Amino acid sequence: MISFTVFVFLTLLFTLSLVKQLRKPTAEKRRLLPPGPRKLPFIGNLHQLGTLPHQSLQYLSNKHGPLMFLQLGSIPTLVVSSAEMAREIFKNHDSVFSGRPSLYAANRLGYGSTVSFAPYGEYWREMRKIMILELLSPKRVQSFEAVRFEEVKLLLQTIALSHGPVNLSELTLSLTNNIVCRIALGKRNRSGADDANKVSEMLKETQAMLGGFFPVDFFPRLGWLNKFSGLENRLEKIFREMDNFYDQVIKEHIADNSSERSGAEHEDVVDVLLRVQKDPNQAIAITDDQIKGVLVDIFVAGTDTASATIIWIMSELIRNPKAMKRAQEEVRDLVTGKEMVEEIDLSKLLYIKSVVKEVLRLHPPAPLLVPREITENCTIKGFEIPAKTRVLVNAKSIAMDPCCWENPNEFLPERFLVSPIDFKGQHFEMLPFGVGRRGCPGVNFAMPVVELALANLLFRFDWELPLGLGIQDLDMEEAIGITIHKKAHLWLKATPFCE
């Protein structure tokens, strides 16, 4: 029965593909497209994505060039893989490249209302303005300094009380979950062990679905294909669970009326959004579903990105003992007379900041960023790119470009001590958080968590692999997802530092 279904499916795809080719206008056939690999009938180049698409696309772009054209299912796709091409596109054509494709899981789990996946238009502009002014402004981020400090302090206490190696992957994910829960909802993810585990598991499943493969994203006219992916039932289940969770959170905030009771400086994210919702002067009316969409943005970007980055940093430092020693000496020499590094100290830790930059270069959290879509026909370097083409910016490939980086495969934090290149979208050689209008506005939200946690881990403890393991045994394999994590959890032995 399954074989017959597959046969019918392939026959239908062949027929649709043949009809499409016969009906394709002559002008479209003659369009000068960028080079790319040969494609198969029906699926185009979909089979060449592999299990880690950013690696597969980097390999293909090395053969076909930094501006490469693919056909992923029925979706025309442009892959950008060099700083030169990124500069050409985002300096001269940023608005045309600022669209977003409609992606099934993101639409469903984000209520069609997230800022990160919203189409380029009025809703995106207004909601992004609210996020930047109300949620992600320097003043607002600074107002949560005490939350970050308290949660990092609890992390250090947990490690100090441990006997034997600690699972740093789980501990850092718990850290970022708790910080984001307090900032977004006003309470820790610790009301009870069962509740905490439930919320953490829901967030993990949300991340898995957002990074999952849904056939309709590549064959939009064949929505029924999702039934064969095995993911649709899981998607609906986690949507209902998260929807109930968000409903409860919003009802509790309305009942508590906490924003009026505590004052604006103590508002959490839900307080702010409910206040904005009541404001008659807002350019757009904000619904509860749109509040939920913003919470999806906050949770996905705020938890996964920071925790994954901390783990990649610690893994690279374990593999590079000289860099570990230099980072620890820096923080221990500059921060004296207190038990913890505070955020006021971070600006002095130039080598540690260089370590963070180097890890973001080697391990960008989302190596293909969030897909874009071209909103109108345009010409790039003589190539004619049709409207509705999907755009993948390979941030990993750009950061490994030998034209921009000496010894790009090596872990060399020192390169950033003498380089002005940063990761905030101003330098095309390094784009871990995107660039231009669709660059990630939450970078200033995540980085204080990363830097404060890292500085304190290095300040308070000496680190080594569990007994019997050497540097060569450290598994650096990547796990696929919306954020690229280290596949194997990082277990390390922590020894309290004594001056």
Co-location of 267 and 376 in the same domain: yes
- Please say if the pLDDT value at position 2 is more than 80: no
Co-location of 242 and 319 in the same domain: yes
Co-location of 248 and 207 in the same domain: yes
- Residue 29 confidence class, pLDDT cut points 50, 70, 90: low
Q: Is the sign of the CA dihedral 292, 294, 298, 299 positive or negative?
A: positive
Percent of the chain with pLDDT over 70: 90
Co-location of 287 and 355 in the same domain: yes
- Please say if the pLDDT value at position 263 is more than 50: yes
Interval 129-154 mean pLDDT: 94
Co-location of 12 and 91 in the same domain: no
Co-location of 329 and 357 in the same domain: yes
Co-location of 356 and 418 in the same domain: yes
What does the mean pLDDT of the chain come to? 90
Task: Report whether 404 belongs to an annotated binding site.
Answer: no
Torsions phi, psi for 329 (to 5 deg): -65, -40
Amino acid at 147: V
Question: What is the tally of structural domains in the chain?
Answer: 2
Contact 410, 96 (CB under 8 A): no
pTM over 0.85: yes
Q: For residue 469, what are its two tokens?
A: 């393991």
Packing angle, helices 269-278 and 288-299, rounded to 10: 150
313-363 residue pLDDT tens: 999 999 999 999 999 999 999 999 899 999 999 999 999 999 999 999 999
Q: For residue 391, what are its two tokens?
A: 């755009």
- Please say if the pLDDT value at position 23 is more than 90: no
Co-location of 51 and 9 in the same domain: no
- Domain with 100 in it: 31-496
- CATH number of the CATH domain containing 101: 1.10.630.10
Co-location of 130 and 16 in the same domain: no
Co-location of 43 and 117 in the same domain: yes
173-198 residue pLDDT tens: 999 999 999 999 887 654 444 556 78
Co-location of 16 and 37 in the same domain: no
Measured between alpha carbons, how far is residue 124 from residues 120, 384, 451 in Å?
Answer: 6, 27, 30
Rounded to the nearest angstrom, the gap between the alpha carbon of residue 288 and the centroid of all alpha carbons in its chain is: 24
Contact 345, 335 (CB under 8 A): yes
Nearest Cα neighbor of 33 from 496, 275, 389, 448 is: 389
- Please say if the pLDDT value at position 219 is more than 90: yes
Co-location of 434 and 295 in the same domain: yes
